[in-house]
Structure 1
């Protein structure tokens, strides 16, 4: 990666006069396999380069420091989501699917769907699920340990558990659930450039999109569950009938892959930090803190884009209206300007304030569901497992947006 300085001339929104600023410019490709395998050196270089950097390979601006990323996330008026949170600019390009009403919309179109989901996924619903998910987690852990104490944590635990409990909660049937992971993988790849990762998923786009759309219909959903609650909201007039399947789709797109990789992150963290696992075992109430610290430390969602709605000044640089800005959530979550010893996974830390779930009005509406899944699985493991260690080389799964795992071989010593 090479960082240089370039001179950019733009017009400010207030004076419409030309201003000149020196913009750090990098030739790094954040979506290359080399960077996706280990993005941490790139994150450090971008943070050190300045508050905003021009990525010359893709002609987009980028922010990697916590303060600037946080500010952009909460400023939906200046940093638009409705033009797409990926590299494609919906002002000029046709989306590959109807845009998400939660992720790719701004007020007022964003407001009603978010209010509905906040209620559907609220504390009352999660209280109903708490005991059921805890029992499901205990059964899964018992089943896995009965088969042997050395196994791959990704297919055995972190992929299986969300696919067991979350679709049940939404109200979709058992058949075809395996489609959710490749669909979500392609959806998150599509936020990046049209590279080999997008091409890999392209042959199944029509099939997977059709299957997901079919699961979002009222008649396909169980009479009780998150999906039925969303359709009931359309009956009350809280959202339109046209919005209801798109809101259900948002759950199925964002509620599985991100949780799978969040659970993988926390298990990898404990396998490589035995002292922290011992601390969790001594105090299982730290399970949610552990999950949030893993989300900060590993950042399953690495990046999202915004689009400048006006000429916007970031540091000494004016980013022109209409330009894409890539926010490195993962880099912000390890910014030493915000976090003490940021590369450490530490349960003594207060990880609140991390941007792994976003921030502001577009903050992940399902984050409490993910925390409940993590709490259920970690509590079950803490009761049954004395030690966790890596049992072989780990393998990353490359995705343009997600920090994901293909394989985490572990050895667990029963308590």
Structure 2
């Protein structure tokens, strides 16, 4: 199914909204929404809506969100993928050359990252990532009682990702904190965003320093990015910003995706049994967890002209909030969307975005090798204590997931 999106020549609405657009008194950045977004997402999927709390339009059906993601000329990213409009407000940090850019500028820098993270490069690092996953799972099986977030979903990516980039050992504790700041900053000026930015200075300083060419180990992804400044494909000024893009989006998506996958296997033992019976399902189990939990819940776009979405006229310069999590559970797209099924055909989920801004990175590789190791070595994963959620304006994940892992 495709959404109907066309350019509109309708009369401007003077900052207001057309009567046909339903107004919803929903705050998608409130703590109670984060705790259980599904009921509100059902209402959001009914139509294009206007959210009075933050004066933005919202789209939540899979077809609508997919269409917006795939039309960067009308729904631009260069004016910010958060609530802030960079044409009207100064960004809190220099904009991303990947996430906050539009074609053709985005096309050039994205091409560089695609070369750095090519399938051939992923193949080269796979054995190392797999060995690290096996070692991590072996160690946790000896302990049995663990926090699956701190001890696995965070610990494993932190053991391989910084090395792949070529970062120094010192200061790596800043990485998760920096990524959390970036994603919370996409939200509105609520307490979560303000607190994140206020404590961001040391994390920003660390990341800026690590992105310099002299601080990156030869052969790592970071050094490879800088090498493209020698060929003229990017400038000397752009190179560290592209490395920053890897650090911003390359860790939290993996951490929250892994956390979601382990949380699903612990809650649905029948799915863990399927994975144990067929470890080749590990990649699909990770993809299904990303669809089911949607670690990246929302992103904004800004209209560059008047446009119609499913018959509703939206003026130029309006913020449109895409509900990726709601789209990934849209019954128009998925059979039994609220059921976790690791044998489901997951192609088409938008947990990693879609179109020219689809996530490039190693999250899928890391998710696959960890779940494959668990499938081969663990008999079961059982929750043994209170599960604590982590709050972020964009990301959905857990702070703590106490589990018992039993040896197969």
Structure 2 length normalisation: TM-score?
0.96
C-alpha deviations, 1:83-121, integer Å up to 9, x for none?
000000001100001111110000111111100111110
TM-align CA RMSD: 1.3
Write the mapping of 1:12-23 to structure 2, written as runs, cut at 5 A: 13-14=8-9, 16=11, 21-23=19-21
The yes-or-no answer on 1:172 pairing with 2:167 is yes
Structure 2 equivalent of residue 118 of structure 1: 114
Structure 2 equivalent of residue 78 of structure 1: 74
Write the mapping of 1:259-298 to structure 2, written as runs, cut at 5 A: 259-298=254-293
Counterpart-to-counterpart distance in 2, 1:226 and 1:410:
34
Q: Is the 8 A contact 1:73 1:360 kept in 2?
A: yes
The yes-or-no answer on 1:127 pairing with 2:123 is yes
* Displacement after TM superposition at 1:20 (Å): 5.1
Q: Do the aligned partners of residues 398 and 361 (structure 1) sit closer, same or farther apart at CA in structure 2, a change above 3 Å counting?
A: same
Structure 1 equivalent of residue 341 of structure 2: 346
C-alpha deviations, 1:295-330, integer Å up to 9, x for none?
100000000000011111112311110000000000
Aligned residues: 399
| Aligned counterpart in structure 2 of residue 379 of structure 1, from 357, 368, 372 | 372
Counterpart-to-counterpart distance in 1, 2:406 and 2:246:
35
| Aligned counterpart in structure 2 of residue 46 of structure 1, from 40, 44, 48 | 44
SS in 2 for 1:410: strand
Q: Tell me, which stretches of 5 or more residues in structure 2 are unaligned? A: 1-6
SS in 2 for 1:58: coil
* Displacement after TM superposition at 1:15 (Å): 5.5
The yes-or-no answer on 1:399 pairing with 2:392 is yes
The yes-or-no answer on 1:220 pairing with 2:220 is no
Q: Is the 8 A contact 1:170 1:227 kept in 2?
A: yes
* Displacement after TM superposition at 1:281 (Å): 1.1
Structure 1 equivalent of residue 4 of structure 2: none
Q: Is the 8 A contact 2:329 2:337 kept in 1?
A: yes
Structure 2 equivalent of residue 162 of structure 1: 157
The yes-or-no answer on 1:152 pairing with 2:143 is no
Write the mapping of 1:6-17 to structure 2, written as runs, cut at 5 A: 13-14=8-9, 16=11
Structure 2 equivalent of residue 29 of structure 1: 27
Counterpart-to-counterpart distance in 1, 2:248 and 2:11:
41
SS in 1 for 2:376: helix
Q: Is the 8 A contact 2:167 2:216 kept in 1?
A: yes
Write the mapping of 1:196-275 to structure 2, written as runs, cut at 5 A: 196-275=191-270
Q: Is the 8 A contact 2:185 2:197 kept in 1?
A: no
SS in 2 for 1:110: helix
Structure 2 equivalent of residue 330 of structure 1: 325
Counterpart-to-counterpart distance in 1, 2:175 and 2:96:
16
Structure 2 equivalent of residue 3 of structure 1: none
* Displacement after TM superposition at 1:45 (Å): 1.2
Q: Is the 8 A contact 2:141 2:378 kept in 1?
A: no
SS in 2 for 1:325: strand
Q: Do the aligned partners of residues 311 and 283 (structure 1) sit closer, same or farther apart at CA in structure 2, a change above 3 Å counting?
A: same
Structure 1 length normalisation: TM-score?
0.94
Moved more, 127-136 or 200-209: 200-209
C-alpha deviations, 1:317-363, integer Å up to 9, x for none?
11110000000000000000110000011022101100111111111
| Aligned counterpart in structure 2 of residue 186 of structure 1, from 162, 181, 206 | 181
Q: Is the 8 A contact 1:166 1:256 kept in 2?
A: yes
* Displacement after TM superposition at 1:17 (Å): 7.6
* Displacement after TM superposition at 1:14 (Å): 2.7
Q: Is the 8 A contact 2:8 2:308 kept in 1?
A: no
